[in-house]
């Protein structure tokens, strides 16, 4: 099975989980980059506003074609109860290219169910598996015991 892990990360949490997944299974990995700056307080405010309004953005070109993979694992931070704007954009732009998908999200404490529902809707695909990881579980490393079963299930 050929797998690709795709993620966006504004402050590093989602990148950490994506890299941990990629260490556990043979796969390619692709970080999504936005053409808009999202740094600082202005970036934070803009990101929350745009996510809440379900706006899309313009992404920088990517390196991997999702159509080349049996499985694409897509990871996002949760913004205002929604997927991050760059990931919503990626899902919409590639919806006809996905074979199977799985989703993961990192977040402070709320919005996981709604985010997964939105990701499903944006790409029109039912995920094989979903994984939610709170920022505190990344900090204290307890996320590792959630990542292992997730990888086992998607690789089955
Ligand atoms: C604009 C914005 C909105 C956020 N909204 C939520 C939210 O609705 N629920 C939540 O639990 N965490 C929320 N967070 C926290 C992030 O989801 C969390 O810190 C995440 O792990 C960040 O991932 P990253 O480091 O990969 O960017 C928000 C963060 C930002 C920047």
Q: Which of these, 100, 99, 91, lies nearest to 129 by C-alpha position?
A: 100
Structure tokens at 73: 């694992």
Ligand 1 atom, smallest distance to 10 CA:
27
Q: How many angstroms separate the alpha carbon of residue 29 from the centre of ligand 1?
A: 22
Name the stretches of the chain with pLDDT < 50: none
CATH class assigned to 3-155: alpha beta
48-76 pLDDT, tens per residue?
A: 999 999 999 999 999 999 999 999 999 99
Q: Assign 34 to helix, strand or coil.
A: strand
Q: How many angstroms separate the alpha carbon of residue 156 from the centre of ligand 1?
A: 30
The CA-based dihedral angle spanning residues 88, 28, 111, 77, taken in that order and rounded to the nearest 10 degrees: -80
In this prediction, residue 156 carries a pLDDT of 79
Query: Which residues, judged by CB distance below 6 Å to any ligand atom, belong to the binding site of ligand 1?
Result: 9-15, 44, 47-48, 77-81, 106-111, 135
Share of the chain above pLDDT 70, in %: 100
Ligand 1 probe mutation, 9, 19, 34, 77, most atoms within 8 A of CB: 77
Give Cα separations from 135 to 76, 101, 110 (angstroms).
Answer: 12, 23, 11
Q: How many angstroms separate the alpha carbon of residue 78 from the centre of ligand 1?
A: 5
Q: What is the pTM of this model?
A: 0.98
């Amino acid at each position: 099975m050929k797998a690709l892990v795709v993620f966006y990360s504004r402050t590093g949490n989602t990148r950490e989980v994506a890299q941990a997944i990629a260490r556990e299974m043979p796969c390619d990995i692709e970080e999504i980059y936005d053409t808009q700056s999202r740094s600082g307080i202005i970036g934070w405010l803009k990101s929350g506003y745009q996510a809440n309004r379900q706006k899309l953005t313009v992404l920088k070109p990517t390196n991997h074609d999702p159509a080349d993979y049996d499985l694409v694992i897509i990871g996002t931070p949760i913004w205002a109860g929604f997927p991050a704007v760059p990931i919503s954009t990626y899902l919409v732009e590639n919806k006809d290219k996905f074979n199977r998908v799985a989703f993961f999200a990192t977040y402070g404490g709320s919005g996981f169910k709604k985010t997964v529902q939105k990701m499903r809707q944006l790409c029109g695909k039912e995920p094989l598996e979903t994984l939610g990881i709170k920022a505190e579980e990344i900090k204290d490393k307890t996320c590792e015991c959630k990542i292992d079963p997730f990888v086992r299930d998607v690789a089955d």
